[in-house]
Amino acid sequence: MVMTSKASSSSGVRRPCATEDSLAVAGGIIAIGSELLLDGYPETNSLFLAEGLATCGIRVRWKMVVGDSLPEITEALRAAVRYAEVIVVTGGLGSTIDDCTREAVARVTGCPLRKRPHLVEVLAARYGLPSRPLTAAVFRQAQVPQGARVLENPAGSAPGFVMTWKGRLLIVLPGVPREARMMFEERVAPLLRARYKNTEVLERHAFHTFGLPELDIQECLHDVIAQSPDIRFAFLPSPLGVSVLLTRWSADHEIRGHRGRSSGSAAQKAKNEDGPMERVVRAVRSRLGDAIYAEGSRTMEEVVGLELVSRSLTLAVAESCTGGLIGHRLTDVPGSSRYVDRVLVTYSNRAKCELLGVSDQLLKQYGAVSAQVAEAMAKGIRERSRSDVGLSVTGIAGPGGGSSKKPVGLVFVGVDGIRGCVIREFRFSGDRQTVKLRASQGALDHLRRYLLS
């Protein structure tokens, strides 16, 4: 759900489209690959490309996916040139015969493919002499349209290229995400920044919240939104919570300098801190308070890890319905071995008794999914592991196992530490995987709040 100041003030009135306001250069992305059309592969290159282009002053207005098909890539390029000033093409540059992006660009621009001797050398050094047809095909990658500037591939074999065509800038990158990303960052972005240095660039800020419904957040920020007509607010709900994304196209080139270099000057920083974006960031931060668990690209597991490290605390986890997901998430963070001592997935009641000392009587009296058992699990794991903090989760992930008294989605989490044991109850909706994900997030958020308070 996307809101601007006009969206919240009235209903039924057509507002000017956000994309019409901007002075940024119009960009388009064409992703090529039959696997992106029918084999269930989501297209993801366009995500970091759109982000990267925005920081260079180019606003992506559309993206398109077509298969590895010469006529269809050709059609896409012909359509693209009508609707964008900068066109980024990704994919179809490999060595197999299906890869026909080079041919399509040559056909549509009228610039025939030419084998570049230095690319033949680079490829020969990489692959050795051709020993079978598959490797011979590698040398197709040395062909580049006449007049195009080669973009060397810092991470793979297929080079990219850039050329102008009908006054448009056509940038062609490989489809392998790592290669496309590195080539964009190292070769393309500097080129674009130099070319479009007087356009608007994107400023953005992301807040990640847990525990507040989307509508409550919108209401809570209602007047902040109304007072910030040049900032776009997007509310993105997921099982991990609701993220609030602020974006603003700005002609303030200090931002670009600040972002483009590793460190800005003190004057630049001061300027950014007092800019319209920063003022709104501060307002949102104070409105949403501790519902915000992270900002920017930080994750809940990173935040929890930082809190544990800064307090020199160790953690032990007793999971039930989440089945190991909390441990998995905690250990996705490099260096987590400093604070994660152990994680026990006590899926059976027997495991809860043997490993955590939860009494049979408690399990019988209250059931495995109860505040009482969550408490016994948190205390048990903390005591037996001699860790500083114990975290427990018990719940019903579904689809079976629910009842009217204890429905699917009922989850208890407990934290035991120096300040005693605190239990929290959740009722989550969704399928089994979603309940697990929400429960893991609820547990980590409960732990975060315990550590902060």
- Among positions 178-237, residues that touch a second copy (CB under 8 A) are 202, 215, 218, 232, 234, 236
Minimum CB distance to a second copy, residue 214 (Å): 11
What are the residues whose beta carbons fall under 8 Å from the beta carbon of 273, sequence distance 6 or more? none
Taking the C-alpha atoms of residue 430 and residue 440, their distance in angstroms, rounded to an integer, is 14
Segment near a second copy (CB under 8 A); pick from 283-291, 304-312, 329-337, 373-381:
329-337
Q: Which is nearer to a second copy, 41 or 452 (CB)?
A: 41
Does 23 participate in binding a second copy (rule CB under 8 A)? Answer: no
DSSP H or E run through 36: helix 35-38
Which one, 264 or 313, has the nearer CB to a second copy?
313
State the alpha helices, DSSP H only, in 84-168. Answer: 101-109, 117-127, 133-136
Reference 253, options 199, 185, 205; nearest CA is: 199
- Considering beta carbons, is residue 86 or 100 the nearer one to a second copy? 100
Contacting residue, 115, 118, 121, 134, with a second copy by CB under 8 A: 134
- Name every residue whose Cβ is closer than 8 Å to that of residue 308 and which is 6 or more positions away in sequence: 314, 315, 339, 389, 451
Shortest gap between Cβ of 273 and a second copy (angstroms)?
A: 24
Near a second copy in 87-116, by CB under 8 A: 94, 96-98, 100, 103
Residue with tokens 């630049």: 268
d(CA 143, CA 150): 10
Contact pattern from residue 38 through residue 77 relative to a second copy, giving x for each residue in contact according to CB under 8 A and a dash for the rest: xxxxxxx-xx--xx--x-----xxxxxxxxxxxxx--xx-
Stretch that binds a second copy, among 3-11, 117-125, 162-170, 276-284 (CB under 8 A): 3-11
Closest approach of a second copy to the CB of residue 267, in Å: 29
Tell me whether residue 124 is exposed, middle or buried, using C-beta atoms within 10 angstroms of its C-beta: 0 to 12, 13 to 18, 19 or more.
Answer: middle
Q: Pick between residue 239 and residue 264 the one whose CB is nearest to a second copy.
A: 239
The Cα–Cα gap between 153 and 252 comes to: 32
| Piece in contact with a second copy (CB under 8 A), picked from 112-120, 181-189, 272-280, 348-356 | 348-356
Find the shortest distance in angstroms from Cβ 410 to a second copy: 16
The least distance separating a second copy from the CB of residue 11, rounded to whole angstroms, comes to 4
252-311 residues near a second copy, rule: CB under 8 A: none
Nearest to 104 by CA among 144, 141, 73: 73
Q: How far is the CB of 393 from a second copy (least distance, A)?
A: 12
Angstrom distances, CA of residue 228 to CA of 8, 38, 215: 12, 42, 19
Residue in 111, 113, 120, 137 binding a second copy, rule: CB under 8 A: 137
Query: How many C-beta neighbours within 10 Å does residue 102 have?
Result: 21
Taking the least distance from each CB to a second copy, the nearer of 111 and 263 is 111
CB-based contact 363:370 (threshold 8 Å): no
Q: Which of 142, 340, 381, 410 binds a second copy (CB under 8 A)?
A: 340
E strand or H helix at 401: none
Q: Which segments of 203-263 does DSSP mark as H helices, in order?
A: 214-220, 222-226, 253-260
CB-nearer residue toward a second copy: 372 or 440:
440
- CA–CA separation, 60 and 50 (whole Å): 6
Site for a second copy in 384-443 (CB under 8 A): 385, 397-400, 432-433, 436
CA gap 439, 321 in Å, rounded: 8
Size of the site for a second copy (CB under 8 A): 107
Does the protein bind a second copy through residue 121 (CB under 8 A)?
A: no
